Amino acid sequence: ETFERNQESKNFRSIIMEIILLENIINLGNIGDKVIVKNGFGRNFLLKQGKALRYSKENQEIVDKKKSELNKKNLEVKNKFKEIAKLIANKTYIFNRESKENGELYGSIKPKEISNLIKQKSQTEVSPSQIILKDELNKIGTFKIDINFHTEVKTNILVKIDKIESK
């Protein structure tokens, strides 16, 4: 039994990793926090994007020294996103689409399309990954959409889908 438990803990250890965050990440932690994440998430996203470092005493010391610099950079990013959020907060973006008799669209509206419309109408960048869709936008109507710019900067927009008469 002890042998089996040791095998399990070895297997478990291989699917998780300890990392130190270099920026605030929603639902994970803040700058300088030591967190445990799944290997794939850590390797393929956090480390690759430069959002974290593998945990070691040396890396912890480096992050502690650079923490004020990282916080300053984080504040600049947050302020930039606050400006964008002010520009688009509670605005309505209208899509005209063909739909079936019951009001369902032939396809749904994706974050990429919303992002492009915001860029076109408000001359500002919103990444499709920042747009949070709770439901598919696949019918005529007005929908409240959340936009997560940063762990501390969120806003809402309205997406209105109007019917255009098919010929």
pLDDT in tens, 31-49: 899 999 999 999 999 999 9
The residue type of 54 is: R
**Longest Cα–Cα distance in the chain:** 73
CA separation for the pair 163, 52 (Å, rounded) = 46
Which residues lie across from 20 on neighbouring strands? Answer: 34, 53
Give the pLDDT confidence score for residue 158 in this predicted structure: 93
The answer to whether the CB of 93 falls within 8 A of the CB of 121 is yes
The answer to whether the CB of 84 falls within 8 A of the CB of 125 is yes
Is the pLDDT assigned to residue 101 strictly greater than 80?
Answer: yes
Which pTM does this prediction carry? 0.71
The answer to whether the CB of 131 falls within 8 A of the CB of 155 is no
pLDDT digits (tens, 9 = 90+) for 68-90: 888 888 899 889 999 999 989 99
